[in-house]
A = this chain, B = another copy of it.
Amino acid sequence: MAERPSVPSPPRLVDVARAAGVSLATASRAMTGSSGVSAEVAAHVQAVASRIGYVPNSHARALAGGQVSMVGLIVHDVGDPYFGEIARGVLHETESRGYLALISQTQRDPRAELARIRALRAHRVTMLVMAGSGYVRAGREAGTEVGAGAGITAGAGTGTGTGTGADTDAGADMAAEVRSFTAAGGRLAVIGRHHLPVDAVLPDNAAGGATLMRHLLGLGHRRLGVLGGPPNLTTVEDRLDGLRTAFGAAGLDWRSVPVVHGDFTREGGAAATARLMRAHPDLTAVVALNDPMAVGALSWLLNSGRRVPGEISVAGFDDAPVARDVYPALTTIRLPMADMGKQALDLVLRPPASRPRRRRTTHELVVRASTAPPHT
């Protein structure tokens, strides 16, 4: 009855046990819900616990061999709507299941990614969701710096084939890290990343790219330009592959398609558009490899007095929430982002399969106002 007056330290399980008149072991069983306690005793202990405001110490629990109730989530950038939606999906699940989520952003830096995984492992996190593109081998895009000063490259110069661009280099470290993580019993699911021997939710990047290209070709466009994200991302490569495949399938020469790389952001899109249009003023359509870049393209084009889609069409990728509200409303490829997060968490929660699971997402062409037949 008498409350400890001075010590503000939270009650421990012993306090609960004492107050309930049972042993530590019994109290523990009652609180964790494990078998071996009579229902009455368990209920009594729990009642006492909640009365005295007992909250188990998760560190002690983890250390004593209990489950770690945290899942890790690594994204490139929380502020980006793509990752925002994914995070929403993941958090929705974790919270309904009583887990806490440790979130990290890497700003698309492979080294930061490794560091984050290690930090998460230090916290003995055994369930981890990594969202965001993997990286292609450094040096493949010789001399092209990510997001700054990226020169214009002919289409043929980028993505010389599917599946050759493994997450190597920093990728080698990453692969080793992942191996050791899973060997130690860790569960990892990635979103939008191949080349890692783990469960994966794979957005339909190549197919989406092809669908988008067919849409533009169908409208009659032949002089197209592409705003690519950082050339070291496999997502960029895959989406480009899809575009190229559909372009080639129409009997056209992909080498005639200029590709400009920039940051996967609004600003990156605007800057890349500037470079693209200066070198190729006669384009009738621009494809951005994600929606923020497309929004940047719209902004630059409109500011430069071009009519969209009257003079030039613009298309994006992802169907971020912003897509339908920009002017003109953006034609894009929809990916089920929040659901992808949910799926990834689901994979992480189930026991590992004998071989990595792959869940391919759907994609859907969403035609809005930003694309139309060329004016010609």
Chain A positions near chain B (C-beta within 8 angstroms): 8-10, 53, 55-60, 62-63, 68, 70, 73, 77-81, 84-85, 87-88, 91-92, 95, 98, 100-105, 112, 116, 118-124, 180, 183-185, 266, 295, 298-299, 321-322, 324-329, 338
Contacts and interface: CB of A to CB of B under 8 A. Distances in A.
A282 B81 CA distance: 36
Contacts of A79: 81, 84-85, 87-88, 321, 338
A325 B299 contact: yes
A14 to B, nearest CB: 15
Contact of A122 (B58, B116, B299): B58
Contacts of A321: 79, 266, 322
Given A70-B123, A98-B119, A295-B325, 10 more contacts: A10-B184, A55-B118, A78-B84, A80-B84, A88-B105, A91-B104, A100-B119, A325-B325, A326-B326, A327-B329
A9 B98 CA distance: 26
A8 B123 contact: no
Nearest to A369: B327
Return the 7 tightest CB-CB contacts between A and B, nearest first: A327-B327, A79-B88, A59-B62, A59-B59, A325-B326, A58-B123, A103-B103
A77 B185 CA distance: 32
Contacts of A105: 88, 91-92, 95
A121 B63 CA distance: 17
Nearest to A68: B59
B184 A9 contact: yes
A101 B101 CA distance: 8
A199 to B, nearest CB: 19
10 contacts: A58-B124, A59-B123, A60-B63, A78-B78, A78-B91, A80-B84, A88-B105, A95-B104, A98-B119, A327-B327
Contact of A104 (B84, B101, B124): B101
Contacts of A56: 122
A78 B70 contact: no
Nearest to A292: B321
A338 B78 CA distance: 11
Best-buried of A100, A295, A328 by chain B (most CB within 10 Å): A100
Contact of A103 (B8, B101, B298): B101
Contacts of A103: 73, 87, 91, 101-103
A321 B119 CA distance: 31
B63 A59 contact: yes
Nearest to A325: B326
A123 B124 CA distance: 13
A122 B322 contact: no
Contacts of A295: 325
